[in-house]
Amino acid sequence: MRRICVFCGSSPGRHADYKEAAVTFGRALARAGIGLVYGGASIGLMGAVADAVREGGGEVIGVIPRSLVDLEVAHTGLDDLRVVGSMHERKALMAELSDAFVALPGGIGTLEEIFEVWTWAQLGSHAKPCAFLNVRGFYDGLLQFLDHVVAEEFLKPVHRHMVLVEREPEALIEAVCHYHAPAVAKLIGREQR
């Protein structure tokens, strides 16, 4: 495990626990010798996790589209900030540079990013772990909805369980490091329609 991609908010969120978890996660990455790939901002949870990894002596790679350099306040303190042309380029480069994907609390961008890489895993495009750091039960409602999607037979249980969930940063890093992708086909055959 060389690098973990973190998707999270450019806002600190309502509760101080969110920022504290981002800092704890960043420190844990640095202690484990695992680099961070993230969205390149200096603010919110994005800035908190990046600063914590940097302060711990870890590698940080920020990837940000040119259109968001000013809006997301690009982190000018990084040794490796890559400015790309679009969100599509951003996500492709982040995926290429990373061995795993973790969503900390965040908004619709965070959800879109983790769901996209999880979909790629479900389709067999990669075998990298995808995970949620469920700080303060932030993702409880989403996880219940995913169980509903399984119950309604739009998602196989094996694919639902591909995504890892932990409440503590170090437990999540350990789970991600020990993940093995299931060998299962995504597509439903004609006889199952």
Number of Cβ atoms within 10 Å of the Cβ of 188 = 10
Where residue 152 sits, what CATH number does that domain have?
3.40.50.450
Residue 117 in any domain: the answer is yes
Residue 193 in any domain: the answer is no
Mode of pairing for the β-strands spanning 35-38 and 3-7: parallel
Tokens of 112: 């879109």
How far apart (Å, rounded) are the C-alpha atoms in residues 95 and 50? 17
Total domains in the chain come to: 1
Residue 151 in any domain: the answer is yes
DSSP-derived secondary structure letter, 74: B
Residue 190 in any domain: the answer is no
Q: Does residue 45 carry a pLDDT above 70?
A: yes
How far apart (Å, rounded) are the C-alpha atoms in residues 40 and 47? 8
Q: Are 135 and 21 in contact (CB under 8 A)?
A: yes
Identify the helix (H) or strand (E) that includes residue 121.
Answer: helix 108-122
Encode pLDDT of 143-164 as tens digits.
Answer: 999 999 999 999 999 999 999 9
Residue 32 in any domain: the answer is yes
Residue 185's Cα: distance from chain center in Å?
23
Residue 185 in any domain: the answer is no
pLDDT of residue 186: 55
Tokens of 150: 């399984």
Encode pLDDT of 169-179 as tens digits.
Answer: 999 999 999 99
pLDDT of residue 125: 92
Spatial CA neighbour of 122 closest among 152, 149, 90: 149
Residue 163 in any domain: the answer is yes
End-to-end CA distance of the chain: 39
Identify the helix (H) or strand (E) that includes residue 165.
Answer: strand 163-166
What is the pTM assigned to this prediction? 0.93
Which residues span the domain enclosing 145? 3-177
Residue 184 in any domain: the answer is no
